[in-house]
Amino acid sequence: MAMTTTEEQIEVLMSGTAYGDPETRENMRRDLHARLLECEREGRPLRVYCGYDPRTSDLHLGHTITMRKLRQFQDFGHDVTFLVGTFTSLIGDPSDKDSARDQLTMRNVEDNARTYAEQAFKILDQEKTRVRRNDEWLAPLDFADIIRLASHFTVQQFMARENFSKRIEDGKAIYLHEFFYALMQAYDAVAQEADVQVGGQDQLFNILVAGRKLQTGLGQKPQIAIIMGESLPGTDGEIKMSKSLGNHIPLLSEAWDMFGKVMSLPDKAMGIYHKLILGWTPTEVARLEAQLQSGEAHPNDVKMRLAQEIVGIFHSPAAAQAAQTRWDEVFRGGGGLPDDIAEAGLSADADIRDVLLRLKMVGSRGEAKRLIQQNGVRLNEQKVASPQATITLDMLPAVLQVGKRQFVRLVRADGERS
């Protein structure tokens, strides 16, 4: 990258960040400016990292938001670490959870972590990325070390966290080991002498409070928190994309599967996907949404281009074209569908079991539930994961399939396609 000024770097690196209040954001901006100047005087790059816990075997599109921020730091010549949370994942981050996570074994974690770096290199520059595991410094700590680290924090600081205070109000348990997560993540920053940590909104406490406080207490300069302001919604278009909720689009999914999952997104998610995954500016997103609203742009055409671009990024342009061709064959003229496929209209969002029963594709809601649990029901070639799934108008048109022979094309009852 061409030489840039400190001010130009700050403008890019702070873009898309949010901290809950403008004063904190300004403090982080000021700290980043000072640290950049300090590193320039010392002749070294910023030490930057973001951690990813291998609770499951796949990263997903939502994770790429922080990866893209790491890539910006790389492009400015800074030292970037992709940290695999091989030790923190044994507990699991409680930050946005209303109950304790299941604990994993080290074998679970090792299996899940095997391809994490490979997935990250879809975004990060492999030659410029340092890959580390936090069991490297967390596993050797003994009980005396834990007591020493814990002495830098009060119980009140942890209880002030929104999810913990809400659990108390709801009469739900908070387990002692859950407090250790923020402590361990804070020590990640200490062990790496981090200048900057990148994370999502759910990491505000871990990065901005715990990490900075422990670094200061142990004689280091506190890291700058780069907290991304928006989260990517999952395939439901509503809730933050999450592996545990099953509404995610895995980076390792096959090209056709990834294409289909993008095509299943609700129309209302188009703007934020273009912004967070493709990097569109607010002006470009506003123009797209205005075109969709006026009818100048057809939602399915927009979604099709989005699916092609995303598959092209994480697979290849050739794979994206192959997925597009297969989609056209299945949904636009034969191929995998019968020539005489029936068409049915929906006038409102509906429980998938009710739709299957109304269309006489099953004999009862119980049969519908059983077939879904046996992976016998598909929507747009994607297995329906839950008997409680809802088919929304935003998903239409869509092909509902039961078994190998029953197909119905669902459209809006008023004839409008979206």
Please report, for residues 73, 118, 246, the alpha-carbon distance to residue 28 in angstroms, rounded to integers and kept in the order given: 16, 31, 34
Q: How many CB atoms are located within 10 Å of the residue 399 CB?
A: 17
For residue 233, being part of any structural domain is answered with no
Residue 157, pLDDT score: 84
Quote the percentage of the chain above a pLDDT of 90.
Answer: 47
Top-confidence range, 193-197, 297-301, 345-349? 193-197
Identify the domain boundary among 309, 334, 359: 334
Residue 338, pLDDT score: 60
Same domain for 109 and 70: yes
Same domain for 94 and 189: yes
Residue 44, pLDDT score: 96
| Confidence tier at 284 by pLDDT (50, 70, 90) | very high
For residue 243, being part of any structural domain is answered with no
Range of the domain at 31: 6-227
For residue 236, being part of any structural domain is answered with no
Same domain for 350 and 273: no
Same domain for 175 and 28: yes
| Mean pLDDT computed over 203-211 | 92
Identify the domain boundary among 299, 334, 369: 334
Tell whether the model's pLDDT for residue 244 goes beyond 80.
no
Same domain for 222 and 299: no
| Confidence tier at 99 by pLDDT (50, 70, 90) | very low
For residue 238, being part of any structural domain is answered with no
Task: Tell me 220's DSSP state.
Answer: P
| Confidence tier at 102 by pLDDT (50, 70, 90) | low
Are 368 and 352 in contact by the 8 Å Cβ rule? The answer is: yes
Residue 367, pLDDT score: 86
Same domain for 157 and 108: yes
For residue 82, being part of any structural domain is answered with yes
Task: Tell me 364's DSSP state.
Answer: S
Number of H helices, E strands in the chain: 18, 12
Residue 159, pLDDT score: 81
Tell whether the model's pLDDT for residue 334 goes beyond 50.
no
| Mean pLDDT computed over 158-167 | 78
Are 289 and 275 in contact by the 8 Å Cβ rule? The answer is: no
Tokens 């873009």 locate to 15
Identify the domain boundary among 294, 315, 334: 334
Q: What is the CATH number of the domain that holds 187?
A: 3.40.50.620
| Confidence tier at 186 by pLDDT (50, 70, 90) | very high
Number of domains the chain is built from: 3
pLDDT of 373-403, one tens digit each?
A: 888 898 887 888 888 889 988 787 788 988 8
Distance separating alpha carbons of residues 100 and 3, to the nearest angstrom: 47
Same domain for 376 and 281: no
For residue 259, being part of any structural domain is answered with yes
Same domain for 171 and 194: yes
| Confidence tier at 418 by pLDDT (50, 70, 90) | very low
| Mean pLDDT computed over 249-257 | 87
| Mean pLDDT computed over 299-326 | 91
Q: What is the CATH number of the domain that holds 361?
A: 3.10.290.10
Same domain for 21 and 157: yes
pLDDT of 255-277, one tens digit each?
A: 988 998 898 888 889 999 999 99
For residue 234, being part of any structural domain is answered with no
* Ramachandran class of 219: left when φ > 0, alpha when ψ lies in -120 to 50, beta otherwise: left
Same domain for 120 and 195: yes
Distance separating alpha carbons of residues 241 and 249, to the nearest angstrom: 8
Same domain for 134 and 26: yes
Residues 6+ apart with CB under 8 A from 210: 153, 182, 183, 185, 186
Q: What is the pTM of this model?
A: 0.74
pLDDT of 113-127, one tens digit each?
A: 778 888 889 899 999
Same domain for 389 and 308: no
Strand-pairing partners, residue 390, are 351
For residue 300, being part of any structural domain is answered with yes
